Structure formats: C-alpha cells, structure tokens
Structure 1
Amino acid sequence: MSLQKKLEAVLSETNATFGVAVKHLETQEEALINGDHYFQMASTFKVPILATLFRDVHEGRLSLAERIRLTEDDLVPGSGVLQEFLPGAEVAVKDLAMLMIIVSDNLGTDKVLELVGTERVDAFMKELGLDRISIKSSCWELLSVGGGLAGEKKGLEGFHKLKQKFQTTGIDADSVIFQPIPENNVSSPSDMGKLLELIATGQLVSQEVCDGILDIMKRQQLRNRIPYLLPDKTIIACKSGTIGSVVNDVGIVYLPEGKGAFTIAVFSTGNASTKEGERMIASLTQTAYEHFIGNE
C-alpha cells in the first residue's frame, strides 16, 4: 500500500480536519493531504521565527549572547516558564530561543519576535518562496484576540485579566484567529514541510544556520505527538502547537540504520479533544516511520 493510502486510512478514524505533508528526504517519496490548505499554525509559527532569528544572527544584525532584561510588561500567559521568573531577570537571546522551542515559551517567543520583527519573519518566508506561510500576530496578540480581549494592553494587569479569562471561559471557538486566511498566523502543510526540508538539508542560508536551528529543535521536551509512538532513541527535531481545537506538530524524524530522514507537518482543527488530536499525530508519524524503514 502507498504511503498516501496508509495515511488516509489513519485519518479515516477521526472527524477532525487534518492537513499532512510527509517527505522522505533521500528518496523524495512524499504524501500530501490538504497540502495547500491554510491552517492556524498555533505555536508551530515559532519555527519560522527561529529560522529568521538565525538568519539575522548570520547577517550580524543580532547576537545570540546578548542579554535581554524581562519586565512585567513582557508577561504573556499560556505555555512556558519565563512568566514565573521575578521581573528583572536578564536572559540571553539564545536562551529565549531555546525556551521558545523546547517548552514553547510564549513570553520568550514574543521577546524574540520583538527583536526580529513580525513583518520581517513574514517577509523572509516569502523570500524563501513559502507564500502560504503567513505570520501576522505575536503570542500576546493571538491569545488576547482568541480570548475575546482584542486590544488589551500588555502588562501585569492585562496578563492577569487574560489568564483569568482562559481559566473561566477559555478560547472563543468562533474567534477570527481560527479563520484559514493569510491575515492570520497560518500555513499550508506543504510549505511548512518545505521549510523543514530547507533546514534539514542545510539549504536555509547556510549549513551553520541550519545546524544551530536543528540543535535547538532536537532538544524538544514536549514529546507527546510526533515522538510519542516512535522508538525511544529516535532523533527528532520538532515543534508542536495547540490553541482551541487546533492540535499541530511539525518536525524532522531521523531513521535508523542509515535509512535517511523524513519531514512531517501535521495541522488539524475540529478535534474533539487535545488528546484525540495528539493520538492522530502520533499514529500518522508512526505509520510514516514504519513505511520508510520497510515495516509493512
């Protein structure tokens, strides 16, 4: 059975809408499901931010060693640990980027995004020919609009207000942030897969840039999607994302015994629960893994 048919069989078990792009980097065998459709990226948009940061470091615009002072005005709710730090902590740019990826830190993400510029991240994706990756909002903007507090000012008061909103009513399922349009943080599975391929093959700016990006992505600590059903020692560089019924994960999986690597980008919406979306992503990844290592 073809990889395409195997992945479609997995998705026959869910009523959620999925977009999938899988490609073996050596053989070029690939499968696409809703490959060109827009999906809300959630925190997978942190991969394009990381790519832009390392491009800027390569060009001398920024330094990974520079320390950034965090204040109450930087607070962002949701995932991460920096919101728990005492105000005044000084954190290196590289550490902000590390936390942005490995624990999906929202505060760290928005500080990195301030440094590189939202418009410049979006423009870099277009320069790469990835026209269906669109980045318009920071984590704060995404969460405040999704929480029904559009325009809420960042700071201690806004942070507590938004946090309280999530604890009581949560994200508005009908929010504009979920519309699959380029005015939101959206991507097609195909274009996210192409970005991952550029990184995995050393073609994004330089080999050194790609090595820096991969070094961070391989340290991922959130491992309940792409990595979940794979052998424990599998090397994986990935980044997940969740907001409302959107459950995503994108990454590069390195196969054993010299069998190469494959990229996988899975976006979804309309999941009955986060766990259900996670189960599907894990199953899709396992199916691709076993297909590529020859376990029919």
Structure 2
Amino acid sequence: MMNLQSVLEDVLKETTGSFGVAVQHLQTGEKASINPTQLYQMASSFKIPILATLLRDVDRGKLSLADQIEIGETDYVPGSGVLTQLSLGVKVTIKDLAMLMIIVSDNIATDRILRLVGVENVSAYMKELGLVNLHINQSCWELICVGLGIDVKSYTPEAAEQLRARKFTSDSFDKSSLVFQVDQRSNASTPEDMNHLLEMIFNKEILTEDLCDTMLDILSKQQFNGRIPYLLPNGTKVAHKTGTIGDVINDVGIVYLPKDLGAFTMTIFSSDNSSMEEGERTIARLTKSAYDYFLFTAKV
C-alpha cells in the first residue's frame, strides 16, 4: 500500500489547480502535506480564526454569546448567507451570528463579529498561538470589494447598490488584485498553520474545553458539504469550513473515523482551478483517499 504522501500526490496528478494540503491523524501523529508552507488565500475558511477569537473574548468576559445584535442596512455585505434576506432591524444573538458565519458562511454575520472583536485582534491572537503565517487583514466587505476592483473601504449606499447589481462568478473578480496576489497583506495562511489551529481546537489546547467543544459543534453543523465530506460514507462526522472566491476553492476541517480509529485534520487550499466543480472534486478525492488510508492503517 502507498504511504500517505504518495496517496495525496497521486490524486493531484489529475488536477490543473495549485493545491496546498496538510493532513494529520490526531491520535497517531502521522501526517503528510503538499506545499505546506506556501501562502494561499483563505477565502471564507478565515472564519475559523474569527470564531476562535470571538470565543477568546467570551472567555475573557468581554462578550456574551447571549448578547443581542441588531442588523441594519449599514451591515449589508453581499455574497453568501441568509441575513440579506431578513427584514432590517432583526435581532440575533452573538451565538446566532457565529453559527450563521460558519454553517452558511454568512458574510453579514462575519463582518458584525469582526466589528465586535477587531480585525487586527484576530491576526494578533493567531500570532499568540504561534501561527505566524496566518494573516487576516480584510473583512468580507473589503475582500469582495478589493476582488471586484471597487475602491470602497466600508459601507456606502452607492457601493451597496453597485454590489447588489453584480453577479458573483469566477470571472467577476480581478485576478491582478491583492486578493489573488497572495501575501501577508491579504487573508492568507499556509496549510500547515491552519491545520495546526484545527489540531489545537480538537485537543482543547486553546480556551476552555467547553468553548473548544462549542467551536467543534458549530463546525460540525456545516451546511455546505460538497467538498471534504462529499465522498465519505453517510453519517461520517465532519467539522469543517469551506471557502470560495473566484478560482480559489478551499475546505478545512476535522474528519472523524469510525470504529474508535480517531480523527484527522484536513486543510486543503487551492487556486487556479479551471472550474468550481474541478476544485470541489479534487478536495473530495483528497479527503476520501486520506480517509481510506487511515481506515486501514490507523491503530489508536
């Protein structure tokens, strides 16, 4: 049987995109990677570090998950989510915002949380955790506007109207923008650092056990399951977060194996995919290959 590294490399022989992958079995420590120290645009997978920072502030007593937040017109952010479809003035708890941010990737919820915790504080917290190659500099509003070539740092009625009229396809985005010229000024991470964050959450190494369990519970309720979980057996527990912008197709999470065989982290970043379908298919095949490998080799 091929080793784990060969298993991953074999899958990527058939793809046109650029992939960064990090996989680690959380009980045995066996791991493999592709481009583990290369920076990739995180897209909406950056919502996991935001969730961790939010719960850090809850742990410190700065916020309560029961606090209610009113959503108004100036909170508008285009793209994924459901809050754009609700009546203005609706009130939701901070926990509701966190749930929406993760399970339906709600951009309004994300940016309201970022206003509560501070964009700069997310990156600072990641550095405190030793994740020096995980950088967050833009809100969802900024990320989308920069990617579309719209020079507006924050909400204006004119910009909102312009964004409402735009179609969000892979061809809509300016590939020469900062969003796709990945460096420390964008929302970028290495597969290695994102995977380490997942490992620390699983092992309850950050915050309290209850708060880490809250993060895992929210991530396990993910509604977008066409990537990491897609080829796995029905009923497989997966705690994960997808990310998409233009030809960037990502998914990162924790896959739980059956028969007390433990679990493994899986971070898959990609760019330059010829289509969303190809990117999603590759992520699903990488995960299934790792799942099958651990299913037959893991001895916990």
Please name the residue that 2:232 is paired with: 230
Per-residue deviation at 1:155? 4.1
How many residues were matched structurally? Answer: 296
Indicate the larger mover: 17-26 or 159-168: 159-168
Aligned-partner Cα distance in 1 for 2:83–2:46: 19
- Corresponding position of 2:150: 149
Q: Which structure 2 residues correspond to residues 188-267 of structure 1 after superposition, within 5 A?
A: 188-267=190-269
Q: CA separation of 1:197/1:170 partners in 2, compared to 1, >3 Å: closer, same or farther?
A: same
Query: Is residue 147–residue 165 contact of structure 1 (8 Å, CA) maintained in 2?
Result: no
1:228-264 CA deviation, whole Å, 9 max, x = no partner? 0001100110000000100000000000000000000
Cα distance, 1:201 vs. partner? 1.0
Q: CA deviation at 1:6?
A: 0.6
1:146-185 counterparts in 2 under 5 A? 146-151=147-152, 153-166=154-167, 170-185=172-187
Quote how far apart the aligned CAs of 1:273 are. Answer: 0.4
Cα distance in structure 1, aligned partners of 2:12 and 2:235 = 26
**Aligned match of 1:280:** 282
The alpha carbon displacement at 1:160 in A equals: 2.3
Q: Which AA in structure 1 matches 2:186?
A: N
Tell me the residue number matched to 1:187. 189
Structure 1: 5+ residue stretches without partners: none
Secondary structure in 2 aligned to 1:15?
A: coil
For residues 167 and 217 of structure 2, what CA distance do their matches in structure 1 show? Answer: 33
One-letter amino acid matched to 2:200: L
Alignment of 1:93-132 (within 5 A): 93-132=94-133
Q: What is the CA RMSD across the aligned residues, in angstroms?
A: 1.4
**Aligned equivalents of 1:30 and 1:276: distance in 2?**
25
Who is 2:135 aligned against? 134
CA contact (8 A) 1:147 1:166 kept: no
Check whether the contact 1:220–1:237 (CA below 8 A) recurs between aligned residues: yes
Give, in whole Å, the separation in 2 of the partners of 1:137 and 1:180.
Answer: 13
Residue of structure 2 equivalent to 1:73? 74
CA distance in 1, matches of 2:153, 2:53: 27
CA drift of 1:153 comes to 4.2
CA distance in 2, matches of 1:157, 1:245: 27
Q: How does 1:26-37 map to 2 (within 5 A)?
A: 26-37=27-38
| Cα deviation, residue 152, structure 1 | 5.5
CA distance in 2, matches of 1:254, 1:82: 31
Query: What is the Cα deviation at residue 167 of structure 1?
Result: 5.2
User: Once structures 1 and 2 are overlaid, which stretch shifts more, 181-190 or 147-156?
Assistant: 147-156
- Decide whether the 8 Å contact of 1:72 with 1:155 is kept in 2: no
The answer to whether the Cα contact below 8 Å between 1:70 and 1:87 also exists between their aligned partners in 2 is yes
* SS of residue in 2 equivalent to 1:294: helix
Q: For residue 165 of structure 1, give the secondary structure of its aligned residue in structure 2.
A: coil
Give the gaps of 5 or more residues in structure 2. none
Query: 1:62: which partner in 2?
Result: 63
After the TM superposition, list the runs of 4 or more consecutive aligned residues in structure 1 that deviate by more than 6 angstroms.
none
The residue correspondences of 1:4-23 to structure 2 (distance < 5 A) are: 4-23=5-24
CA distance in 1: counterparts of 2:23 and 2:189, whole angstroms? 15
- TM-score by length of structure 1 reads 0.97
Task: Output the amino acid matched with 2:42.
Answer: M
Q: Is the contact between residue 74 and residue 155 of structure 1 (CA under 8 Å) also seen in structure 2?
A: no
Q: Deviations for 1:21-44, whole angstroms, at most 9, x for unmatched residues?
A: 000001100001000000000000
Distance in 2 (alpha carbons) for counterparts of 1:164 and 1:120: 33
Q: Take 1:293 and 1:272, find their aligned partners in 2: how far apart are those partners?
A: 31
Whether the 8 Å CA contact 2:152–2:159 is kept in 1: the answer is no
Q: In the aligned structure 2, how far is the partner of 1:16 from the partner of 1:10?
A: 12
Using the alignment, how far apart are the partners of 1:81 and 1:55 within structure 2? 26
Hey, what's the Cα distance between the residues in 1 that align with 2:7 and 2:122?
Answer: 35
Counterpart of 1:130, as a letter, is: L
Identity over the aligned pairs, expressed in percent? 53
In the TM superposition, residue 156 of structure 1 has moved relative to its aligned partner by 4.1
- Contact 1:75–1:155 under 8 Å retained in 2: no
In structure 1, distance between residues paired with 2:110 and 2:284: 25
Cα distance between partner residues in 2 of 1:153 and 1:221: 29
Looking at structure 1, the residues matched to 81 and 257 of structure 2 have their Cα atoms a distance apart, in angstroms, of 30
Distance in 2, Cα, partners of 1:152 & 1:29? 43
TM-score (norm 2): 0.96
